[in-house]
Amino acid sequence: MPIATTPPSGFRDFLPAAVAARHGAIETISRVYRSFGFQPVATSAVEDLSVLLGKGGGENEKLIFKLLKRGESLDRAQAEKTELADLGLRFDLTLPLARYYSKHGSLLPHPFKAFNLGPVWRAERAQKGRYREFTQCDVDIIGSDSWGAEVEVITAICAVFAALGVDHPTVNLNDRSLIYAVLDQAGVSADKRVAACVILDKLDKVERARVLTDLATEVGADATKMLEAAMMTDTPDLAFLKAAAPAAVERLGHILTALKAGSKHPELFVLRPSLMRGFDYYTGPVFEFRHPSISGSLGGGGRYDNLTENFGAPHTPACGGSIGFERLMLLLEDAGTPEDPGAPDAVMTVFSDELRGRALEVSAALRAKGLCVDIYPGVGKLKNQFKYADLKKAAYALVIGPEEAARGVLQVKALKTGEEQAMTIDEACARIAARA
């Protein structure tokens, strides 16, 4: 039986153009985050299960890719019928960051502004824009309890969307303590709080009627009626919400006012009492980015003030947000790009093995001036090498034959027009750079 050539369900291969587009987006995200003063960090892809299974994972704890123990440890676990796994692949970047800060916090600025870009893994059902392996682009502020931290995180993520040419998303905001206060007002007991939140979190995923039916089954008809009026509306009763959780509403008011004041689209920052966010580790404001062109969120985040305590570190306030990179790439793909971002500026042909050294020398000189120059790996008819350059979607093909080598020039051929001209290295660089 032949070995499969496709990756497992929920995993993907990427062709060169897609990789180049993803790298370009990552570079833009990194540049924007740096411009806000965030510093890059990197955490391990593999974590102890104690890190991943501690408080904070919620439903995602069921989705961990676990790694078997190794060698004698595995043999012993099998013989004793104990837990076979002791490690797991990270399912997000926040829990590893809390562990990271608990370990290295004394070496870092305080507060610490960090960004982390990398893959995560979840053993969930694959669907368009949602895979078992995907990239997250997190930005976090650790060590500040100011509402200004939320403003900074949200503003940085909005700046990323702007830099990538994405229309400004709607930013929905809520607060976990506000959610719990409303549940208390509705008479929902503490033991049913999590179940009620899970149901409410499905509001944008399933029909409203189903959410109401499930709520009524879980918390009763009277509580459901109050929750519908307070949380499942586009025009929330601010007086009721403020009476239920005055501190939370005040904090959200500060955040919304600051975001609107600093934006050309103030109408897109919205208080959404039904917004849950799925992780148990959120302790305060939560937010989510929505775009009309895609289903699901473009990203989200919130405040998580208690995570470092899981690792024996002092209480450290923190908040952060993440961009849904795969959905972002779908959005950019749908918008289209005029040219292949992975295409070289030029392809250097190789006239003969004897002239390969000169071709290498000139290519290196052009690269030193910031150009991307691909050298044909073999020798052969120039017609075939030009075809190679076309397939690589290069703008120019460069030729150095015996005559050009003797004169110290190269032929620069524009592949779209067929125009060809002998130039010095500096002249060729200027022509190619202008086109690029």
DSSP string, 62-81: GG--EEE--HHHHHHHHHHT
Select from 74, 83, 86, 87 the least CA-distant residue to 47.
Answer: 87
pLDDT on residue 436: 57
Q: What tokens were used for 28? A: 């833009």
Select from 291, 32, 270 the least CA-distant residue to 139.
Answer: 32
Round to whole Å and give the CA distance between 337 and 436. 15
Q: Is residue 66 part of a domain?
A: no
Measured torsion, CA atoms of residues 424, 426, 430, 433, in degrees rounded to the nearest 10: 110
Select from 398, 424, 393 the least CA-distant residue to 409.
Answer: 424
Name the average pLDDT for the chain.
90
Same structural domain for residues 35 and 153?
yes
Average pLDDT estimate for 56-85: 84
Q: Is residue 54 part of a domain?
A: no
pLDDT on residue 57: 46
Same structural domain for residues 321 and 419?
no
pLDDT on residue 71: 92
Average pLDDT estimate for 64-80: 92
Average pLDDT estimate for 296-302: 92
Same structural domain for residues 278 and 238?
yes
Beta bridge partners of 140: 114, 320
- Which phi and psi angles does 116 have, rounded to 5°? -140, 125
Q: Is residue 407 part of a domain?
A: yes
Percent of the chain surpassing pLDDT 70: 95
pLDDT on residue 46: 96
Q: Is the pLDDT of residue 44 over 90?
A: yes
pLDDT on residue 56: 46
Same structural domain for residues 365 and 326?
no
* Widest CA span in the chain: 91
| CATH code, domain carrying 328 | 3.30.930.10
Query: 276: domain range?
Result: 16-47+91-335
Confidence of residue 338 (pLDDT cuts 50, 70, 90): very low
Round to whole Å and give the CA distance between 102 and 309. 8
Q: Please tell me whether the peptide bond between 96 and the residue prior to it is cis, using omega within 30 degrees of 0.
A: no
DSSP states along 260-326: HHT-S-GGGEEE-TT---S-TT--SEEEEEE-TTSSSEEEEEEE--SGGGGGTPPP--EEEEEEEHH
Round to whole Å and give the CA distance between 334 and 331. 5
Q: Which long-range contacts (CB under 8 A, 24 or more apart) does 218-225 make?
A: 218/192, 219/186, 219/187, 219/188, 219/192, 220/187, 222/186, 222/187, 223/186, 223/187, 223/188
Q: Is residue 341 part of a domain?
A: no
Same structural domain for residues 290 and 310?
yes
Of 198-212, 313-327, 382-396, which range is least confident?
198-212
Q: Is the pLDDT of residue 129 over 70?
A: no
**Total domains, the chain:** 2
Q: Which helix (H) or strand (E) holds 428?
A: helix 425-435
pLDDT on residue 341: 57
Round to whole Å and give the CA distance between 100 and 319. 15
Q: What global pTM score does this model have?
A: 0.85
Q: Is residue 37 part of a domain?
A: yes
Q: Is residue 72 part of a domain?
A: no
Beta bridge partners of 285: 175
Boundary-marking domain end, from 335, 357, 385: 335
What is the distance, to the nearest Å, from the Cα of residue 221 to the centroid of all Cα atoms in its chain? 40
Q: Is residue 140 part of a domain?
A: yes
pLDDT on residue 342: 66
DSSP states along 230-268: HHS-SS--HHHHHHH-HHHHHHHHHHHHHHHHT-S-GGG
Average pLDDT estimate for 173-200: 86
Same structural domain for residues 403 and 300?
no
Average pLDDT estimate for 44-57: 81
Same structural domain for residues 134 and 274?
yes
Q: Which residue has the tokens 């970047």?
A: 93
Same structural domain for residues 361 and 284?
no
Same structural domain for residues 322 and 422?
no
Q: What tokens were used for 307? A: 């995570």
Select from 241, 237, 259 the least CA-distant residue to 249.
Answer: 241
Same structural domain for residues 240 and 204?
yes
| CATH code, domain carrying 359 | 3.40.50.800
Asked if 135 and 19 count as a contact pair (C-beta separation under 8 A), the reply is no
Same structural domain for residues 153 and 181?
yes
What is the distance, to the nearest Å, from the Cα of residue 300 to the centroid of all Cα atoms in its chain? 10
Boundary-marking domain end, from 276, 310, 335: 335
pLDDT tens, residue by residue, 98-108: 999 999 999 99
pLDDT tens, residue by residue, 116-128: 999 999 988 877 6
pLDDT tens, residue by residue, 141-157: 999 999 999 999 999 99
Average pLDDT estimate for 393-414: 93
Q: Is residue 64 part of a domain?
A: no
Asked if 106 and 100 count as a contact pair (C-beta separation under 8 A), the reply is no
Boundary-marking domain end, from 301, 335, 369: 335
Residue 47, Cβ density class (10 Å: 0-12 exposed, 13-18 middle, ≥19 buried):
buried
pLDDT tens, residue by residue, 347-382: 999 999 999 999 999 999 999 999 999 999 988 899
Same structural domain for residues 302 and 423?
no
Average pLDDT estimate for 186-206: 82
